[in-house]
Structure 1
């Protein structure tokens, strides 16, 4: 292989993978386009060439007189509730002094999973969604920006000596900060933009004047604005894209489905994965929720006899290796049933998921920390870099964390755990791993600055009590109050059917609570 062959191509050739099949929804941005796939499409802006899988939506970005100034990659819903499908118009001409300021205002109002390339004669930048769900990594020396590390370096994959790759591929740990599986490649940060001339990453949010608290008297008004925005995003997705939605027994998917009311007839598929006892219980809860909403529900039961051959070790290893390669070797799972469930997910344009809803419940906090000063050891543990720490490790990562913390304005320090979740955890624990799923393009409706910032403005104690999410849930769909959550349902199942009953026995069990 040539020294100018991407790591991805090197591995695909050596191991017999189909590059186009493996790297679905992915892209490379460069000034000298490398070899990718004949099926990939090329888009020019300034002296940059974007090469992208045809399954990845690429939409032109236009200035106020209709001139092309860039490309929008992915799925987005604007602040006005419009889906970005034909073009993304910006309110300034590219030669205006305030072009990037006005463009930034528009970008900050977009929900979804996306990256945006903007280029004028003077400046070239790349912007990202609020949690970097659309994975973006870069290799400054090679002049490559891409969706995964193996698409952003040439030759063979190099090993990052600061991390345990096997622990990461087994899902125990994550890369952190700018690090990826290859030391030549760095991951971008959300709330920054990438300067395509210098490869610097200036912070654009939060600003010094960004508030991170709210008076109790104004709390209901804030929640009402969040409710309107979540409904607007869900309706925008359901009206404009072929969507599926996985439903579990928890709060997140229930909330999203509830705010889709009025457009649920446009939902192509609601489904649940049954991979163990807990997810069988989730499937039962989901079936009851969907029945109330009159939404057809599908259970993908990997315990079924028809899937037995797909759980063989050889096929599982193939799935695992392909998933790892797609993610740039940043994640995977050895769990056979979970891997099969991912492969069996319905095939649609968009899969709506609810990971980021957890910020509304302050999942990054423990009750013992609510009134305590910032705890660096706790903050580092949340990153899951490694399981045990030497003094050298602790010093290295403590210093790196504090450098990141000091990029935040002072007012934001009171929400450091929340912002670390968005900027340090999510890009590795979710954004990188989303590349591994190719049956649909995964989009978080809660990946929106109105919703994320609004959640952070609510005090952690209030969120941790579940008052915020319960209020939003009750306001949207009070009829779901009769459907219990997972822990209560497990008790009902145990009492009625014993431990770990099969789906055939479980599916008709009455779990609804009398009001």
Structure 2
């Protein structure tokens, strides 16, 4: 087994990801010191679980402890009464106007909110679960609500549309990582099956590496009285648009509404530009702000020696000329990352996911040199059949297929978890395979893979994922199936908002790079032929 390196003796430091995971070594690192759990928090009825050095809150028997960097906003009804907390809200839309939640915000609801009120004030949804464009919280947030349905009070935890959080029914704790859950014992069987961080994958379907600890997925709330997770969305079939381009235009207009709201606080922006669809769509969304004197927009492209990076560089240079914006080009430098730093980051995020972000965080930190807002293209895959582009749209969805999509090992625990996830879907949704796969993308890839990574970095997050808005995600789920499968969403978003950017093909090598691509394809085909011949000879 691989041992934890010591940074005291630089001659014996091990670098990079381990070939095989040493779970004993990970357990010796756990829990990390609470001061290293940046922006994390826990909610529990047990006061003794709260770190003394953290900010502390209390309401109706529930203790909340939050790292000093955590943005905790108190929620009040229109009459001024306390109704809950929300963590890390980026923006609140009220009648289409952007409000920045600070220490407290009054929401448009009288008294304790009902379940239906919660859908409206948190998510901006109507009684039928349809998202409105003029109300609700934006960003990677999690809310705690003390409400009432008639005479029956409730206490619930609601992750935002792409966020998630851990909970332990036996310990009675809701927390951002296992570091804050007392006596979180490793489930060695499932840990070995996933083999993180040696293998670059993520825990899916609410599973974790620890006994009795579960992940609360997007579109679910946690009932704090029973500590049961309950799906609360979607509730009604998605009403598809007649034309996919209608959805593309809605996403552009809503994203611009969000960007205009953010512009009240931020004047500097960075767009990470590549040859792909999402980053170009974000640039097109930002077009109305790009050349206003009060804003500073910069494009950034990082490239390496591989063909994909060279295609990114080629396309981004051409696009920057069309946009007439400053373009920072950075050559990717391969750094030796101490394994200890990778493992500490892995433990910090609850051992939820392993991948390049662990190494990136260990070498680059938060990127403190830029204090503006990074505009990311996350979540666009939900509108272009990411998991089902090559399959029959009418074929029923099975457990084996959804497990394969998320890259989970085939063991009893993953099979049962996938079965539960499918079984809890509304019957009308299970009968719509494309919707099942796109919801799978939102709840697993975004909720289990992307969300935990947000706790890797120190300081205040400076990233906005405009496409990941709940309104935009629902809009993508309302696109016609054939349109999603065609992959035209980002194309039509750009055609609507900046058609000149379509003159540069997506992810396509041009000029000399086309010849390089043909050479590489020929070499790959030759390797595949050799492997097939060796296999036939054996």
TM over 0.5: yes
Offset at residue 243 of structure 1 (A):
5.2
Which residue of structure 2 aligns with residue 41 of structure 1?
Answer: 55
Aligned 8 A contact 1:353 1:443 in 2: yes
- The correspondence of residues 176-195 of structure 1 with structure 2, limited to 5 A, is 176-195=204-223
Name whichever of 72-81 and 340-349 sits farther off.
340-349
- The correspondence of residues 311-326 of structure 1 with structure 2, limited to 5 A, is 311-312=335-336, 315-326=337-348
- The correspondence of residues 77-156 of structure 1 with structure 2, limited to 5 A, is 77-79=91-93, 80-86=96-102, 87-95=104-112, 99-109=114-124, 110-120=137-147, 122-132=153-163, 135-151=164-180, 153-155=181-183
Aligned residue-pair number: 466
Superposed CA offset, 1:148-201 (max 9, x none)? 2222x2246523522436633145332121211212311002111111222122
Say if 1:162 and 1:93 are closer, same or farther in 2 by CA, change over 3 A. same
Say if 1:469 and 1:68 are closer, same or farther in 2 by CA, change over 3 A. same
Offset at residue 244 of structure 1 (A):
4.1
* Whole-Å separation in 2 of the counterparts to 1:383 and 1:458: 23
Aligned 8 A contact 2:299 2:327 in 1: yes
Superposed CA offset, 1:457-514 (max 9, x none)? 213321221222211111111121233333325x6446599999xxxxxxxxxxxxxx
Aligned 8 A contact 1:194 1:201 in 2: yes
Which residue of structure 2 aligns with residue 458 of structure 1?
Answer: 479
Which residue of structure 2 aligns with residue 257 of structure 1?
Answer: 283
Say if 1:399 and 1:167 are closer, same or farther in 2 by CA, change over 3 A. closer
Which residue of structure 2 aligns with residue 379 of structure 1?
Answer: 402
Offset at residue 203 of structure 1 (A):
1.7
- The correspondence of residues 393-408 of structure 1 with structure 2, limited to 5 A, is 393=411, 397-408=414-425
* Whole-Å separation in 2 of the counterparts to 1:16 and 1:269: 40
User: What residue ranges of structure 2 are gaps of 5+ in the alignment?
Assistant: 1-24, 125-136, 521-538
Aligned 8 A contact 1:239 1:266 in 2: no
Offset at residue 59 of structure 1 (A):
1.9
Which residue of structure 2 aligns with residue 296 of structure 1?
Answer: 326
Which residue of structure 1 aligns with residue 446 of structure 2?
Answer: 426
User: What residue ranges of structure 1 are gaps of 5+ in the alignment?
Assistant: 1-9, 501-515
Give 3-state SS (helix, strand or coil) of 1:363's partner: coil
Aligned 8 A contact 1:148 1:326 in 2: yes
Which residue of structure 1 aligns with residue 237 of structure 2?
Answer: 210
* Whole-Å separation in 1 of the counterparts to 2:413 and 2:208: 17
Give TM-score scaled by structure 2 length: 0.76
Say if 1:339 and 1:408 are closer, same or farther in 2 by CA, change over 3 A. same
Which residue of structure 2 aligns with residue 444 of structure 1?
Answer: 465
Say if 1:497 and 1:71 are closer, same or farther in 2 by CA, change over 3 A. same
Matched, 1:476 2:490: no
Which residue of structure 2 aligns with residue 505 of structure 1?
Answer: none
Which residue of structure 2 aligns with residue 198 of structure 1?
Answer: 226
Offset at residue 259 of structure 1 (A):
0.9
Give TM-score scaled by structure 1 length: 0.79
